[in-house]
């Protein structure tokens, strides 16, 4: 595939938590002509710089028509729509799209222990499919791994329940985790698009900071002086064992898959601390300890 910088970029999932941030970053750069794919019945509005293409996400022809002339496709679809990306990818290939960034954005799926978890089966299948297409020179792809979303995770109870003053501490809470803000993932996507040769047909890893669950909880508890927290200790090996048994017996509970994600983030051996990252190539500065303190304060100081 040719590796000139991409100009015309389509985004699927542009209204979600990450997608909206990615779209904002692409707009801010001033480097791209941006088209957001939305469902035919959507009433969501976007900034004037963005072209909106209403599509039938179950029709390859509808998708291919919208993707005609696009250089790159960025998918930020949610977890439940990961497997449906295959049709989107087929449409992109039909339309001649040169680069596809699928909805990965999380734990390191090049780590075999993480990759084997059933919760990631859809993402792994999409990776493998893209690799097959790239080998045939039908398109190129980039996978972006960024660890858990730091700011989103703090606001939405991934690391602890601030409002309820509760915390589930996994494996003692000292496991170091590489995490990234949503804006950092947006920057990484932008830089992949401006560095197509360096990022072709491979994964890239980015992070803002390495931090432990205990360190995050300590920062948050500073805003609840004198208040007792309800702290529960969880063993991820036991959690994984129970969750995998539920999957194998087809007795999946509401938290089964989420618990496997928790194992991948907080457990040992899942590669949750990124030892080698592409921050320098992708222009990711990361954040410092004081920056993290400011972030935590901005989220929790008034709650």
Model confidence pLDDT, tens digit, residues 233-280 = 999 999 999 999 999 999 999 999 999 999 999 999 999 999 999 999
Q: What is the pLDDT of residue 303?
A: 62
Give the chain's length.
303
Q: What is the pLDDT of residue 301?
A: 87
Tell whether the model's pLDDT for residue 291 goes beyond 60: yes
Which tens digit of pLDDT belongs to each residue from 20-63? Answer: 999 999 999 999 999 999 999 898 999 999 999 999 999 999 99
Q: What is the pLDDT of residue 3?
A: 63
Tell whether the model's pLDDT for residue 139 goes beyond 90: yes
Q: What is the pLDDT of residue 1?
A: 52
Q: What is the pLDDT of residue 244?
A: 98
Average pLDDT, the chain: 96
Q: What is the pLDDT of residue 80?
A: 86
- Residues near 49 by Cβ (< 8 Å), separated by ≥ 6? 27, 34
Q: What is the pLDDT of residue 300?
A: 94
Which tens digit of pLDDT belongs to each residue from 1-12? Answer: 556 789 999 999
Per-residue pLDDT averaged across 214-226, rounded? 96
Q: What is the pLDDT of residue 2?
A: 53
Indicate the pTM of the whole model: 0.95
Q: What is the pLDDT of residue 179?
A: 98
Percentage of the chain with pLDDT > 90?
95
């Amino acid at each position: 595939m040719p590796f000139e910088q991409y100009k015309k970029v389509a985004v699927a999932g542009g209204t979600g938590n990450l997608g909206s941030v990615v779209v904002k970053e692409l707009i801010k750069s001033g480097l791209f002509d941006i088209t957001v794919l939305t469902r035919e019945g959507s009433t969501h509005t976007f900034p004037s710089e963005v072209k909106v293409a209403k599509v039938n996400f179950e029709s390859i022809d509808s998708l291919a028509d919208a993707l005609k002339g696009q250089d790159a496709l960025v998918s930020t679809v949610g977890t439940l729509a990961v497997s449906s990306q295959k049709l989107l990818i087929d449409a992109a290939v039909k339309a001649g799209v040169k680069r596809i960034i699928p909805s990965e954005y999380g734990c390191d799926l090049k780590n075999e222990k993480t990759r084997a978890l059933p919760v990631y089966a859809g993402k792994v299948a999409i990776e493998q499919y893209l690799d097959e297409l790239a080998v045939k020179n039908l398109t190129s792809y980039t996978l972006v791994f960024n660890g858990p979303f730091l700011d989103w995770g703090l606001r939405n109870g991934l690391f602890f329940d601030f409002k309820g003053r509760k915390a589930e501490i996994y494996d003692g809470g000292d496991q170091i985790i590489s995490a990234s803000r949503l804006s950092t993932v947006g920057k990484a996507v932008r830089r992949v698009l401006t560095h197509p040769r360096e990022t072709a047909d491979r994964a890239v890893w980015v992070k803002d900071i390495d931090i432990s669950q205990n360190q995050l909880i300590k920062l948050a508890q500073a805003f609840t002086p004198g208040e007792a927290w309800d702290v529960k200790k969880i063993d991820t090996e036991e959690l994984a064992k129970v969750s995998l048994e539920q999957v194998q017996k087809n007795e999946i509970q509401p938290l089964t898959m989420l618990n496997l994600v928790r194992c991948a983030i907080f457990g040992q051996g899942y590669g949750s601390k990124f030892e080698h990252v592409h921050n320098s190539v992708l222009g990711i500065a990361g954040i410092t300890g004081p920056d993290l303190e400011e972030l935590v304060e901005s989220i929790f100081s008034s709650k």
